[in-house]
Chains A and B, each alone.
Chain A
Amino acid sequence: MIPEIGHFALILCLLVSVLQAFFGIAGPALGRDRWLAVVGPAVTAQFVMVSAAMGVLIYAFVQNDFSVEYVAQNSNSALPVFYRVSALWGAHEGSLVLWSWILASWTLAVALLSRQLPARFAARVLGVLGIVSVGFLLFTLATSNPFLRLSPAAPDGRDLNPLLQDPALAIHPPMLYAGYVGFAVAFAFACAAMLEGRLDQAWARWTRPWTTVAWAFLSVGIALGSWWAYYELGWGGYWFWDPVENASFMPWLVGTALIHSLAVTEKRGLFKSWTLLLAILAFSLSLLGTFLVRSGVLVSVHSFAADPARGTFILAFLVIMIGGALTLYAWRAPLLKSNAGFELTSRESFLLFNNILLMVATATVFAGTMAPLISDALGLGTLSVGPQYFNPVFLLPTLPLVALAAVGIHASWKKGRIGERRGPLLLALAIAVLLTLAVVLGAYEGARVLTPIGIGLGIWLALSALIDPIARLRRGIRITPAIFGMALAHLGVGVFVLSIAVVESYTRERDVALAVGESARVGEFEYRFLDLDPLEGPNYDGVKGTIAVFENGKQIALLHPEKREYWVQRSVMTEAGIDMQLTRDVFGALGEDLGAGRWSVRAQVRPLISFVWLAAFLMALGGVIAACDRRYRVALPSPEAAPVTPVAAALPASARSAAAGDVLPGSAG
């Protein structure tokens, strides 16, 4: 009975979303302001309904209700309760429910925090979000219903994929989705602006914090996924340019471009139509990512169950959403003219180049990700594109981007002057060059050409990001959250570039065959296999090794890699033994029993790898802090039109047309 309540709640949720979409879009379009009153309650109802559906599903997991097919396939009575809850998004159907719940949460947040927006505009934003919600709920109910029953009920479940029984992976999908779905908010703001036919600096100010927070979530989500791949998959890589990774990385790149373009639109009223296009693109790539992952069209090491119905549905949804938004764009964008000029070395120029380089980077990733699909569809053979393509091609636009960022964050708007910052900037460059030389020539042997470039650029940008806050601190000028957040995020980018360069250049790795008591050299390190013991966990058993790692005869780490066999799925998992420290990770993973008492062991020592993820969190934190800036919370009447108060919203349309100001003909009643 209880699962049916969840199913029913989901259907109600769909109906409410239809109301929200219809009244949110049609109300302002037809000038029926009374219709707008439906939208707010519909948003709340939608959130309540989808929360109920998700609650029911969680309840079914926790109670081990194996009469629900989805639970039977993804859980087991021996599974710890924590993972029973996270098993909800361990597979396709449940993760769609999570998607809808996160969308409902964002929508509710928009409804609650946007009271200072003009009522019609807010209704349009919520209406567009309603359309997105309708699409995903329809998709869930029609092709991927998690509440389907199994008759007779399974005696026990098939268990959650052991790879997913991990704390980082329990929070990775919600974070990633919060990012993906957050771009729906930017998308909705863009569509609403196009429907209104007006886009002013106030619009950019409303959109910025939402976009930045969504971007921060996506950053954390990608970093968690990468971290999980590093320690849980057992083989020590942190980025594989896998299509599914790329699918989450492309919206991030475009989102980064969007954040910067929005800054120009807010401060200078420029790049208006470009900003709109980026907002559409960021969300489109989020949808495309969902399509790629969910339809199984991609030949990936982990492309999933191919279900043509699901693929077709998402593809149709993709075409409708993107096609609709682009049509709207073609119709309305020419109306949004900006006529301010700027000099070649002004901040606007730097941000323009930032956008171009980010788009080139996105295009290279897109080309590499889609090429196998296109080649296959055209019958040109089955091909695959790996790191050998992505690594060099991606660096081409991004290395100049880092250099431009180091200078660009000090450029002033409109006029091309670095001015007083020239001195500190050159000092930072000098320090970066010296430190790089010290690392490359002194402490370690020189590696490839890219090593000093990466290290130098990383240090330069990190130092450059600190110049502004330090200067303000010394003069006693207040550091606003916007300034602090921006500095932190760019510091994060600098640290990221630096750490990637170091990890890629100075990692020591080797596969070795070791028996207990034997040791092997890995670069300047020595791995000694001390012991191998049996192991028993709550739902698995296996063996646990003990490996000591020495540097110059001194023990620096003791690793405990495990090989687990999970009982239900009889699958073997490698749990790497990692000694994590801020400056370096010592990594060891057990491969397999090679016979003669020997085991294959993957040994790696990676300097500074923690900083790769730390940097991603710095970026995200910077974004969140910047989004908390006071100016986003103060209701600022836009110069063209005073915000319509709820009282005014209740007035007849004729009385409001005066307040609507210079709204384009046709867009208001």
Chain B
Amino acid sequence: MTPRRRRIVLVVGILAGVSIAGALALRAFQENVMFFFDPTQVAAGEAPTGERFRLGGMVRPGTVERRSGSLDMNFVVTDFKRDVPVRYSGVVPDLFRENQGVVAHGRLGADGVFVADEILAKHDENYMPPEVARAIKDKHGGVMPVDPGKAVDPPSPGAVPLNLKLNP
């Protein structure tokens, strides 16, 4: 092969490889991306049933119920306009509390109960997930129960994932 020919083969090979990788990445992306919905959107039927998504809002005070001595629990996520009941089994984050922001990953059942397999909470007292803050602000006439702007700064650029995975 002449150097020119070899170069063409090389470039074509690389392009092909990169395109295949890109196509596969795109597919994985489409299949695994999760959208965020607030309780009002869920109530309006915008959220998909049977597909995983993120539900965010506040934990409505007085709704956290737990069968004594068991990992199963129920609570209600609210944006102060509509409510969505949530069922979960497992360990909840330290900062999961009533009247605090929460994001739950899971699926919406046919009975209208959101079955969560993962619960995320903020990692400090003042922080509220931005999407939750926005969802509540929209419904709440611009008044925030918690001021997200006053957040204490974070621990450094390092990893601070408060990511709770439920185990099978």
Partner of A226, one of B71, B125, B159: B159
Note all chain B residues with C-beta closer than 8 A to A570.
Answer: 125
Say whether B90 contacts A386, CB under 8 Å.
no
Q: Counting CB contacts under 8 A, is A293 at the interface? A: yes
B95 within 8 A of A: yes
Q: Does A610 count as interface, using CB distance less than 8 angstroms?
A: no
User: B17 contacts A356, CB within 8 Å?
Assistant: yes
CA of A225 to CA of B25, assembled, Å: 27
Residue of A nearest to B97 (CB): A572
Q: Which of chain B's residues 108-146 have a Cβ closer than 8 Å to chain A?
A: 120, 122-125, 127, 129-131
A511 and B91 within 8 A (CB): yes
Interface set, chain A 252-287, CB cutoff 8 A to B: none
Identify A73's interface contact among B69, B94, B152, CB under 8 A: B152
**Could you say which of A18-26, A207-215, A364-372, A524-532 contacts chain B?**
A364-372
Please tell me which one of the listed residues B24, B71, B158 contacts residue A511 in the complex, with CB atoms under 8 A apart: B71
Contact A92 B24 (CB under 8 A): no
- Let me know if A228 is at the binding interface, CB within 8 A: yes
B15-38 vs A: 1/0 string, CB under 8 Å? 001100100110011011111100
Taking a contact as CB atoms under 8 Å apart, the answer to whether B69 and A597 are in contact is yes
Contact A595 B33 (CB under 8 A): no
Decide if B165 is an interface residue (CB 8 Å cutoff). Answer: yes
A187 to B163, CA, bound (A): 35
Q: Which of B18, B25, B159 has the most C-beta atoms of chain A within 10 angstroms of its own C-beta?
A: B159
On chain B, the residues within 8 Å of A572 by CB distance are 94-95
A591 touches B (CB below 8 Å): yes
Interface residues of A in 126-177 (CB under 8 A from B): 158, 161, 163-164, 169, 172-173, 176-177
Contact between B131 and A382, CB atoms less than 8 A apart: yes
Residue of B nearest to A144 (CB): B153
Question: How would you classify the secondary structure of chain B's contact residues: helix, strand, loop or mixed?
Answer: loop
Structural contact, B125 and A569, CB atoms closer than 8 A: yes
Q: Which residues of B contact A289 (CB under 8 A)?
A: 157
CB pair A381 B125 closer than 8 Å: no
Distance from A367 Cβ to chain B, minimum over Cβ atoms (Å): 7
In the bound complex, residues from chain B placing their C-beta under 8 Å from that of A574 are 94
- State whether the Cβ of B66 lies closer than 8 Å to any Cβ in chain A: yes
> What are the residues of chain B within 8 A of A173 when measuring CB–CB?
156-158
State which size class the interface on A falls in.
Answer: 35 or more
B128 to chain A, nearest CB (A): 10
Q: B69 to A172, Cβ gap below 8 A?
A: no
Which residues of the partner chain B approach A443 to less than 8 Å between Cβ atoms?
A: none
User: Per-position contact with A for B34-54: 1 when CB-CB < 8 Å, else 0?
Assistant: 111000000000000000001
Closest to B162 in A: A301
Interface residues of A in 51-74 (CB under 8 A from B): 73-74
User: CA A248 – CA B161 in complex, angstroms?
Assistant: 14
Residues of A within 8 A of B159 (CB): 225-226, 228-229, 239-240, 242, 244-245, 248
On chain A, the residues within 8 Å of B29 by CB distance are: 367-368, 371, 385, 389, 393
Are B131 and A299 touching (Cβ within 8 A)? Answer: yes
B68–A596 contact, CB under 8 A?
Answer: yes
User: Do A600 and B95 contact each other (CB < 8 Å), given the known contacts A305-B151, A382-B131, A594-B69?
Assistant: no
CA separation between A225 and B155, bound complex, in Å? 11
Q: Please tell me if the beta carbons of A235 and B154 are within 8 angstroms of each other in the complex.
A: no
Number of interface residues of B (CB under 8 A): 59
Most buried by B among A289, A510, A591, A597: A591
- Taken together as a complex, chains A and B put the C-alpha atoms of A511 and B164 apart, in Å, by 11
A290 touches B157 (CB 8 A): yes
CB of A408 closer than 8 Å to a CB of B: no
The verdict on A244 contacting B66 (CB below 8 Å), with A158-B152, A302-B123 known, is no
Contacts of B33 in A (CB 8 A): 371, 383-385, 389
| Nearest CB of chain B from residue A167's CB, rounded to whole Å | 14
Given contacts A73-B152, A305-B152, A595-B69, A396 and B157 within 8 Å (CB-CB)? no
Whether a CB of chain B sits under 8 angstroms from the CB of A583 is: no
Closest to A508 in B: B167
Least Cβ–Cβ distance between A251 and chain B, in angstroms:
11
Query: Is B12 among interface residues, defined by CB-CB distance under 8 A?
Result: no
Which residue of chain B lies nearest to A392 when distances are taken between CB atoms in the complex? B28
Q: Are the C-beta atoms of A344 and B158 separated by less than 8 Å?
A: no
Asked whether B91 lies within 8 Å of A91 as measured between CB atoms, the reply is: no
Give B55 Cβ to nearest chain A Cβ, in Å: 12
Are the C-beta atoms of A594 and B70 separated by less than 8 Å? Answer: yes
Q: How far is the CB of B38 from chain A (nearest CB, A)?
A: 9
Q: Nearest Cβ distance between residue A91 and chain B, in whole angstroms?
A: 4
Known contacts A233-B161, A240-B161, A306-B130: A396-B24 contact under CB 8 Å: yes
Return the contact of B130 from the options A91, A303, A383 (Cβ within 8 A): A303
Indicate if B14 sits at the interface (CB-CB under 8 A): yes
Interface status of A296 (Cβ within 8 A of chain B): yes
- Across the interface, do B35 and A360 meet the contact criterion of CB distance under 8 Å? no
Bound complex: CA A602 to CA B164 (Å)? 11
CB contact between A591 and one of B32, B92, B125, B151 (< 8 Å): that residue = B92
Most buried by A among B28, B32, B161: B161
A206 at the interface (CB under 8 A from B): no
Contact A90 B130 (CB under 8 A): no
Q: Which residues of B contact A645 (CB under 8 A)?
A: none
Which residues of chain A are near B120, meaning CB under 8 Å? 301
- Most chain B Cβ neighbours within 10 Å, of A228, A237, A301: A301
B18 contact from A163, A360, A384, Cβ within 8 A: A360
Contact of B21 among A296, A301, A360, A592 (CB under 8 A): A360
Q: Which residue of A lies closest to B14 (CB)?
A: A356
Q: Which residues of A contact B35 (CB under 8 A)?
A: 381-384
Q: Interface code A66-109, partner B: CB below 8 Å = 1, 0 otherwise?
A: 00000001100000000000000111110100000000000000
Task: Say whether, besides A244-B157, A364-B25, A296 and B130 are in contact (CB < 8 Å).
Answer: yes
B62 in contact (CB, < 8 A): no
Q: Is A632 an interface residue (CB 8 A)?
A: no
A 379-399 contacts with B by CB, 8 A: 381-386, 388-389, 392-393, 396-397
Q: Is B166 an interface residue (CB 8 A)?
A: yes
Min CB distance B99 to A, Å, is 15
Residues in B whose Cβ lies below 8 Å from that of A356: 14, 17-18
User: Can you list 12 A-B contacts (CB < 8 A)?
Assistant: A90-B153, A92-B154, A235-B164, A239-B159, A299-B130, A302-B127, A303-B130, A304-B151, A305-B149, A509-B167, A513-B70, A598-B70
Task: State the 5 A-B residue pairs at the shortest beta-carbon distance, nearest first.
Answer: A596-B69, A591-B91, A91-B153, A240-B161, A225-B158
